């Protein structure tokens, strides 16, 4: 069994007169990008700060790579990067000095600091800014420097609280590429954001919080987590040359297929087979003489999923709030 990078168990956190987190339990898989979503006051920032050992909870445990964060905060910090939503930079230091300080304070050996600074600057697109003061950087560059400082020690886990807030579309897109690259290198990311369309681009999982409780935590359909590994259920959209209604009954008899919707020339199915099974389905369509134009995974829209979860939760549990 793969060990989760983050394990949260029965985490409860109170502010005076207000319960911010209520018995939250979850585990984050290695190599995943988890979108942490929820309305204002849902407990997103508090959860991130507890995982980062910046705030102490009322009860519960948080383990990162098997280490209890409240018992060994400094050791955990070597495995973790964290970018606060309200981050600051040492404005009187240059980009190179800021990165060097971050590297050294995270315990990197002296011999590897210079290389880490160069590598991180390149990764963040700041190689030509190394001599500039942090105060002279643009908003997007400051954001990238802050993320660079958080990842310079190659953490296993990266926590980001509203990383794209205040950025223009171009800078957001660049940031999405950075996150994808970090995930590709095996880093696990937990990203809190209000801009769900932006999270759609790179998230593999959704963790929805509401009123301090976990509303939903699952792999997103169409994400690498949902379609890339083994026989994970996912939604496929098949487009045919002719009317889909006639093909639907035949399709329903095929292995791993559950019909969802047939409309015009398009059929949506839930498919529970692996990639070989999917190839076999394509071959079966062709052999049966059904003129298949395309078959594609339907990527789940994070915003719709989140709103659906929220609406369902509000309908079923209107008053599950802890009151002081």
Partner 1 sequence: MNPEFRRQLWLQFSTTRLIVLPMLLAASFIAVYVNVSSAPAAPLAATAMLLFAVLVLGMGTIAAGASVMDEIADRTWDQQRMSAMQPWAMTWGKLAGASAYGWYGGALCLLVALPSVWVAEPLAVVLRWALLGCLAGVFLQALLIAINLQLLKTSSRVSRRSGMWALLLILLWGGGLVMESLRRVNHIGWWNQAFEKLDFALASLALFAVCALVAAWRSMSEVLAVRKLPWGWPALALVATVYISGFGWTQRLPVLGAVGLSVCAVLTYFALLTEPQQRPLWQRLVNAALGMQWRTVLLQLPRWPTTLVLAIPFAVMTAMALNPNTAVPWTLSNAVLLQPIAFALLLGRDCALALFFAFSPQTRRPVMAFAVLMLVLYAILPWLMRALGGPVLAGLALPLLGNSALSVVVAAGHLGLALWLLRWRWLATAPRTAEA
- Answer for which of 4, 21, 82, 126 binds partner 1 (CB under 8 A) is 82
- Answer for which of 3, 56, 115, 138 binds partner 1 (CB under 8 A) is 56
321: contact with partner 1 by CB under 8 A: yes
87: contact with partner 1 by CB under 8 A: yes
Q: Which region holds residue 150: left if phi is over 0, alpha if psi is between -120 and 50, else beta? A: alpha
- Answer for which of 181, 246, 282, 317 binds partner 1 (CB under 8 A) is 317
Inter-residue contact 136 to 91 (CB < 8 Å): no
**Measured distance CA(126)–CA(96) in Å, rounded:** 9
Inter-residue contact 43 to 24 (CB < 8 Å): yes
**Measured distance CA(48)–CA(154) in Å, rounded:** 19
- Starting at the earlier edge strand, list the strands of the sheet with 266-271: 257-263, 266-271, 234-240, 292-297
88: contact with partner 1 by CB under 8 A: yes
174: contact with partner 1 by CB under 8 A: no
319: contact with partner 1 by CB under 8 A: yes
- Answer for which of 77, 129, 172, 290 binds partner 1 (CB under 8 A) is 77
**Measured distance CA(284)–CA(292) in Å, rounded:** 10
SS3 245: helix
312: contact with partner 1 by CB under 8 A: no
> In Å, what is the CA distance from 198 to each residue of 44, 90, 141?
17, 28, 18
93: contact with partner 1 by CB under 8 A: yes
Would you call 170 exposed, middle or buried from its count of C-beta atoms within 10 A (0-12, 13-18, 19+)? exposed
Task: Report the nearest approach of partner 1 to the CB of residue 84 (Å).
Answer: 5
What binding mask, one character per residue, do residues 124-163 give for partner 1 by CB under 8 A, x or -? -------------------------xx-------------
- Answer for which of 3, 10, 58, 112 binds partner 1 (CB under 8 A) is 58
Q: Which of 267, 236, 230 is nearest to 251 (CA)?
A: 267
Stretch binding partner 1 (CB under 8 A), from 32-40, 52-60, 217-225, 294-302: 52-60
Nearer to partner 1, 41 or 73 (CB): 73
102: contact with partner 1 by CB under 8 A: yes
19: contact with partner 1 by CB under 8 A: yes
276: contact with partner 1 by CB under 8 A: no
**Measured distance CA(167)–CA(175) in Å, rounded:** 9
- Starting at the earlier edge strand, list the strands of the sheet with 213-219: 80-83, 157-161, 188-192, 33-37, 205-210, 213-219
- Answer for which of 11, 64, 65, 80 binds partner 1 (CB under 8 A) is 80
Binding positions for partner 1, rule: CB under 8 A: 13-17, 19, 52-54, 56-59, 70, 73-75, 77-78, 80-82, 84, 86-93, 97, 101-102, 104-107, 149-150, 317-324
């Amino acid at each position: 069994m793969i060990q989760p990078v983050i394990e949260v168990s029965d985490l409860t956190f109170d502010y005076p007169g207000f319960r911010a987190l209520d018995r939250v339990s979850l585990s984050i898989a290695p190599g995943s990008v988890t979108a942490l979503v929820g309305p204002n006051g849902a407990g997103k920032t508090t959860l991130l700060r507890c995982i980062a050992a910046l705030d102490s909870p009322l009860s519960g445990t948080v383990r990162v790579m098997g280490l209890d964060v409240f018992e060994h905060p400094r050791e955990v910090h070597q495995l973790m990067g964290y970018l606060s939503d309200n981050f600051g930079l040492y404005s009187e230091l240059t980009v190179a000095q800021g990165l060097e300080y971050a590297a050294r304070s995270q315990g990197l050996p002296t011999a590897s600091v210079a290389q880490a600074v160069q590598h991180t600057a390149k990764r963040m697109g700041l190689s030509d800014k190394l001599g500039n003061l942090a105060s002279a950087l643009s908003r997007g560059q400051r954001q990238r420097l802050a993320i660079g400082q958080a990842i310079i020690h190659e953490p296993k886990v990266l926590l980001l609280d509203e990383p794209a807030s205040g950025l223009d579309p171009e800078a957001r897109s660049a940031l999405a590429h950075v996150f994808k690259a970090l995930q590709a290198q095996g880093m696990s990311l937990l990203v809190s954001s209000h801009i769900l369309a932006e999270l759609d681009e790179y998230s593999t999982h959704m963790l929805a919080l509401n009123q301090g409780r976990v509303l939903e935590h699952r792999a997103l359909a169409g994400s690498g987590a949902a379609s890339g590994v083994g026989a994970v259920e996912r939604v496929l959209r098949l487009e045919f040359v002719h009317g889909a209604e006639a093909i639907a009954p035949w399709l329903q008899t095929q292995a791993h297929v559950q019909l969802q919707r047939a409309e015009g020339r398009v059929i949506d199915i839930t498919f529970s087979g692996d990639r070989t099974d999917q190839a076999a389905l394509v071959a079966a369509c062709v052999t049966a003489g059904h003129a298949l134009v395309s078959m594609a995974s339907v990527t789940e829209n994070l915003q719709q999923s989140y709103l659906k979860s929220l609406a369902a939760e509000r309908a079923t549990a209107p008053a599950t709030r802890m009151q002081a």
